[in-house]
Structures are given as C-alpha cells and as structure tokens.
Structure 1
C-alpha cells in the first residue's frame, strides 16, 4: 500500500466557521483546548527546569483530555503534541 504524505492545506476562516457550526459545543471547546495545549507545549522546553517539566506534563494532560473528547466525535480530529498550532 502506498501512503502519501500530503501537506496540510490551510482552511479559509469562513469555511472553518461553517464546519464548527455543525459540531457540538463540547467538541468545539475541546478543539480550542487542544490547540491551546499544543501552542503551550511548543513554548515549553522539556528539560529546562523542574517547573517547565511540571508545566509540560500539565499541558500534555490537557491535550490528552481534549483529544479524548475529539476522538469520541471523530478519530481524525485527534491532535498530537508534535503538531504545530495555527
């Protein structure tokens, strides 16, 4: 089987609003929470200090909780900690 690594294409703002309007409120909130957690994970350095490590673990927990809600709606919505936030 051939798998293609296609680049992510940005979604226009109006299209994103239409898509969000069709989803339940809890899924929209989880998507925002996941994006926020990914943004914070990109800001933190994992081996810098004890406080940064603790903050990183907290953000990973927030991301996991948001991903649980997103995956219940659709497994394709899961956001990994390695992904870049918009």
Structure 2
C-alpha cells in the first residue's frame, strides 16, 4: 500500500477565529489551562523530593478536573500530562 506524505498546511487566522466562536468560552479556557498544566507536569520530577511529588500530584488533579470539562464537550479534546 502506498501512503502519501501530505505537507502540513497552516490554518489561516480567520478560520481559527471561526472555529473558536463555535466553542464555548469555558471549554476554550479549560483547553488553555489544561495545556499549561500538562507542561507543568513534565517539569516535576516525581522521585526527586516530597515537595515535587506533591506538586506533581496537585497538577495532575487540576488536569483531571479540566479534562472533565473538555471531555463533556468532546472526548477528542482531552489533554494528557507527562510523556
């Protein structure tokens, strides 16, 4: 079977704005916050110290709460933390 490698095409800003207008504001905020929480989770080292472990667990809990909001709107929006 032959597969074609299609080049990625940047999405015009006008299209992004049209898509964002269709999504509720609470879902957009949850998506942004979940992305930031996922990045925070990556920088914690769970085996380094008790403080890092506790901070990582707190970030995972916040990410889980945000993912509930995202999954209610669309299961494809769920953000995964870590690697």
The bucket for the TM-score relative to the shorter chain is 0.7 to 0.9
Q: 2: CA distance between counterparts of 1:62 and 1:13? A: 32
**Deviation sequence 1:27-70 (CA, Å, 0-9, x none):** 01110110010010111111110000000001001100000000
Unaligned runs of 5+ in 1: 1-8
Correspondence 1:51 to 2:34: no
Q: 2: CA distance between counterparts of 1:79 and 1:10? A: 23
Aligned match of 1:23? 23
Quote the RMSD (CA, aligned, Å): 2.1
Offset of 1:10 from its aligned partner? 8.2
Q: 2: CA distance between counterparts of 1:37 and 1:78? A: 12
Offset of 1:13 from its aligned partner? 6.8
Unaligned runs of 5+ in 2: 1-7
Q: 2: CA distance between counterparts of 1:75 and 1:37? A: 18
Q: 1: CA distance between counterparts of 2:49 and 2:12? A: 38
TM-score by length of 2: 0.78
Aligned match of 2:4? none
Aligned match of 1:65? 65
- What is the number of residues matched between the two proteins? 75
